[in-house]
Amino acid sequence: MSGSVQVIVLAGGSSRRFGSDKLAAAMADGRSVLDTCLTGMPSAWPLVVVGPSRPVPSAVGTRVRWAREAPPGGGPLAGVAAGLAFVDAAVVCVVAGDTPGAGALLPVLVSALTADGSVDAAVASDGEGRANPLLAAYRVEALRGAVPIPASGVAARTLLTLPHVVVPAPGEVRDIDTPDDLAALRDE
């Protein structure tokens, strides 16, 4: 077993609302959105990045294993399914690659999950209280049972059927969907 926690980073979307490859877009410090996300992950946790392979910072390169959802572009739940094939830990965090500040919240989510044996997930919520299944910690066996086969085209919100606890995410932990979202994060 590679550790008690692993992370699946979803990096296979089409960036339709952004208009170009948002994961390659530069943050204020010049690093890409995806590089910022990956380097912010807890350093002891192996990473499974689901999407087309691309260069990553050397600081995380040895921790990254690449996977591809089937079919490519099949949606986030298909990405989770592809990533799970490479997970051998008891707990896995799922993160969208367009959430550059996610790494800071993951230990909080894992703590919330492990503190409550009656739940299978600890899911972050946004400022409006909506649970985000793509920023969450899951018990691996429960997650495997919740992901349908095939998973392509199935809404990620399906994962919210698992018993879960909701953890409010701090305001700086948010995803980037549009150029305006990126500009707002750059200005902080």
pLDDT digits (tens, 9 = 90+) for 138-167: 999 999 999 998 899 889 999 999 999 999
Cα–Cα distance measured from residue 34 to residue 18, given in angstroms and rounded to the nearest whole number? 14
Cα–Cα distance measured from residue 7 to residue 81, given in angstroms and rounded to the nearest whole number? 13
Q: How confident is the model at residue 2 (pLDDT cuts 50, 70, 90)?
A: very low
- Report which secondary-structure segment, H or E, holds 8: strand 5-10
Burial per residue of 92-105, b for 16 or more beta-carbon CB atoms within 10 angstroms, e otherwise: bbbbbbbbbbbbeb
pTM for the structure as a whole: 0.92
Quick one: tokens of 63?
Answer: 């921790």
- Report which secondary-structure segment, H or E, holds 94: strand 91-96
Tens of pLDDT, residues 16-65:
677 668 888 888 888 899 999 999 999 999 999 999 999 888 888 889 99
Q: Are 124 and 173 in contact (CB under 8 A)?
A: yes
Residue 19: predicted pLDDT: 67
Domain covering 5-187: architecture: Alpha-Beta Complex (3.90)
Tens of pLDDT, residues 5-14:
999 999 987 6
Q: Cα angle at 86 between 83 and 92, to 5 degrees?
A: 65
**Which residues lie below 8 Å from residue 62, measured CB to CB, with a gap of 6+?**
none
3-class SS at 26? strand
Q: Which amino acid is at 184?
A: A
Task: Return the domain boundaries, the chain.
Answer: 5-187
